[in-house]
Amino acid sequence: MIKYVTAGESHGKGLTTIVSGFPSNLPVSSVFINEQLKRRQAGYGRGMRMKIESDSAEILSGIRFGKTIGSPISLFIKNTDWQNWTEIMSIEGNGANIAKITVPRPGHADLVGVQKYNFNDIRNSIDRSSARETAARVAACSIARKFLFEFGIRVGSYVESIGGVYSKNNFVKKFINDKNSRNYDAQKLNNIADKSSVRVLDEAQEQKIINKIKTAKKRGDTLGGTFVVIATGVPVGLGTYMNNDDRMDAEIAHAMLSIQAVKGVEVGLGFEQAEMFGSEVHDEIIFDGKEFTRKTNRAGGVEGGITTGLPIIVRGAMKPISTLMSPLDSVDLSSLKKVEARRERSDFVAVPACAVIGESMLAWVIAKKFLEKFGGDSLEETKDNYNNYHKQLLKRIKKNFFRK
Ligand code: EPS
């Protein structure tokens, strides 16, 4: 069973994550982790903080001579900005000289955080609820991503829309109807998207989005958007309908909604299916001589909470960043009077980063389900189990059902 925990405040000394449960002998390097961290930092519309930080993970344990040894892997990402926050975020002292934050921002965890935790300074809510925490997640999930590489499973993503600006080409639709989608390599998506300043696949759309972000900035406003995450090379049989919380799609939805500011998730055709006839929705089954597949992949790679062997297709919706430079109304907790919400240095748009985080989360869920199914204390043992399963898959169906 793989697990990870993250710790750290946005303006504290840094972020830590401890990852456990991966088999031994998996090659892992900080170079690989740092590539992912860099991807998370990119994107037109990020704020000043991303110019201050250059996220990199220091490996503190769990790796020897470039490979996992089965022990918990601890990673540390320093906050370069910490040097400017040593007093405000001090671990010692009583904070008597620090100006308290008393005005919550609508849409942020500011108010609910102080209500729930009995704080006298909103800074406590701000700093842990911040999406800066996702740097630690991306680092942790890079171990999962690297693990999946060993089995030819790739996870990629792109930004589908920002502020309602979509491409004329609906890539997901095409992909769902592509009979060869099972041979696709999701890494290809990243090769294209990572070249775009807003991680889109369509150049014409990119300029329109940049213009929309410029408009938002001028208004002192922010934008959200939708992103698509795809995993390819996923074997049939991960997840189960046996228990509600073990369903693959349920775990995916949980993982996506756990990302700060994500408010909606769809698997495959998602909400659109609710408006269609059954005959237009369900993927017809075919046998290609070697294995079972589907004519289409509207289900997004999951049926009955179990992976079908076709790519997993997930779409997420991120709301606009809640810190506005032209703020909405709020209430000052120190006077209970109506005031403008507080401005705080933030991003205008973070959908490109969110897509990379979505990839990371999907990689984690797949690795988790994969190891639940195939187990193994060493990478070699996991590979043996996996290869044997593949060898037996069709043989078992034939043995159980086939009548000449
Ligand atoms: C950050 C995400 C955003 C940034 C943060 C760094 O966090 P939040 O969800 O709180 O808006 O604004 O940087 C700052 C808080 C700052 O000091 O600028 C990230 O992804 O690293």
pLDDT band at 404 (very low <50, low <70, confident <90, very high): confident
Q: What are phi and psi of 62, to 5 degrees?
A: 90, -10
Measured distance CA(307)–CA(321) in Å, rounded: 33
- pLDDT (tens digit, 9 = 90+) per residue, 121-144? 999 999 999 999 999 999 999 999
Q: How confident is the model at residue 377 (pLDDT cuts 50, 70, 90)?
A: very high
Mean pLDDT, range 78-101, rounded to an integer: 96
Q: How far is CA 71 from CA 23, 95, 138, 204, 384, in A?
A: 9, 38, 19, 48, 21
Provide the CB-side half-sphere exposure for 348 (13 A, CA): 22
Number of Cβ within a 10 Å radius of residue 190: 21
> How many C-beta neighbours within 10 Å does residue 306 have?
20
Domains by residue range for the chain, with CATH: 3-383 (3.60.150.10)
Position 154 confidence tier, pLDDT thresholds 50, 70, 90? very high
Q: Say what percent of the chain tops pLDDT 70.
A: 100
Cα–Cα distances in angstroms (integers) from residue 34 to residues 31, 78, 139, in the given order? 5, 12, 8
- The answer, yes or no, to whether residue 16 has pLDDT greater than 90, is yes
Is the CB–ligand 1 distance for residue 125 below 6 Å?
A: no
Average pLDDT in the 173-201 region? 97
Distance, first Cα to last Cα, the chain: 42
**Mean pLDDT, residues 245-266 taken together:** 98
Reported confidence tier of residue 262, pLDDT bands at 50, 70, 90:
very high
Mean pLDDT over all residues of the chain?
97
Residue 167 clears pLDDT 80, i.e. is over it = yes
Mean pLDDT, range 35-59, rounded to an integer: 96
Q: What is the pLDDT of residue 124?
A: 97
Ligand 1 atom closest to the Cα of residue 40 is 20
pLDDT for the residue 169:
95
pLDDT score for 85: 97
Cα pseudo-dihedral 256, 260, 261, 267, rounded to 10: 0
pLDDT value for 398? 93
pTM of the shown model:
0.97
Question: What per-residue confidence (pLDDT) applies to 403?
Answer: 83
pLDDT interval class at 63 (50, 70, 90): very high
The average pLDDT across 368-397 equals 97
C-beta of residue 323 within 8 angstroms of C-beta of residue 122: no
Q: Is the CB of 264 under 6 A from ligand 1?
A: no
pLDDT band at 402 (very low <50, low <70, confident <90, very high): confident
Q: Atom 21 in ligand 1: which residue has the minimum CA distance? A: 132
Instruction: Give the DSSP H or E segment for 115.
Output: helix 110-117
Mutate to test the pocket of ligand 1, among 325, 347, 357 (most ligand atoms within 8 A of CB): 347
Residues 270-290 have a mean pLDDT of 96
Q: How confident is the model at residue 212 (pLDDT cuts 50, 70, 90)?
A: very high
- Spacing, Cα 48 to ligand 1 middle (Å): 9
Which residue among 6, 49, 223 is best mutated to probe the pocket of ligand 1, counting the most ligand atoms within 8 A of its Cβ?
49
Count other C-beta atoms under 10 Å from residue 397's C-beta: 13
